[in-house]
Amino acid sequence: MEATKVAIVTGSSRGIGAETALLLAKNGYAVCVNYVSNSESAEHVANQITSNGGRSLAVRADVSSASDVKRLFKTVDAELGRVSVLVNNSGILMRQCRLDDISEERFLQVLRTNVIGCFLCSKEAIKRMSIKHGGQGGAIVNVSSAASKTGSPNEYVDYAASKGAVDTLTKGLALEVAEEGIRVNAVRPGLIHTDMHASGGEPSRVQRLKSTIPLQRGGHPAEVAEAILWLATDKSSFVTGSFIDTTGGL
């Protein structure tokens, strides 16, 4: 167990982020539970960790805001210590529609959270992890999506495009900081049972599409969290610039 390690999981008040925060804590990490609005759920996750003997705090921060991100990392510096694992999990999804019905404002909002948020958090993490900056190395795990490969036609082309950008950022950043002790990888979840589908206007989307999945079922947040944990720890010490598709075979 890596008891001295510190992890920040963005967007971890629910779903994949919450399961990842809890799993990292079980494996000895002090965990920052980041959220943007649901303080009650975030505090619940943090309290679960502390009640089991771990160290955690919940920090409100909008990852699309540079000032919020800087405050987030400075808070973790002061309360938990230097971050060694960053999980870029924050992401938003809008209602299903065709591209010609997507507004410029909507597209920009999706890009700000899903791409700029990943960029801003990674930037602050590198300043703390990189041996070039006096750090001791670390791992960044980006939560992308199978949509980056399918394009999500007639549903969320803007979301899919943002996750395609995350894939490219993952690869480029991995190569850029490989010699500085930082590994950068991503998971690409498919149809997972989370509240995000309700944001798209179809809470039962996984149930509707499960027959298209080779494993004939939707995935669970805990299953994605296990892949994230592996990429975050030294068990994947020779892996960088890589992707794990948690899609049930899609």
Catalytic residue annotation: 159
Phi-psi region of 241 (alpha: psi -120 to 50; beta: other; left: phi over 0): left
Residue 219 CA to residue 108 CA, distance in Å, equals 29
How many other C-beta atoms lie within 10 A of the C-beta of residue 203?
12
CA distance 166 to 164: 5
**Pairwise CA distance, residues 221 & 61, whole Å:** 22
How long a stretch of residues is the chain?
250
Please answer whether residues 63 and 90 qualify as being in contact, where contact means their C-beta atoms are separated by less than 8 angstroms. yes
230: which 2 tokens? Answer: 């592996």
Contact 228, 245 (CB under 8 A): no
Q: Determine whether 120 is exposed, middle or buried from the number of CB atoms within 10 Å of its CB (0-12, 13-18, 19+).
A: buried
What type of residue is 23?
L
DSSP string computed for 38-75: -HHHHHHHHHHHHHTT--EEEEE--TT-HHHHHHHHHH
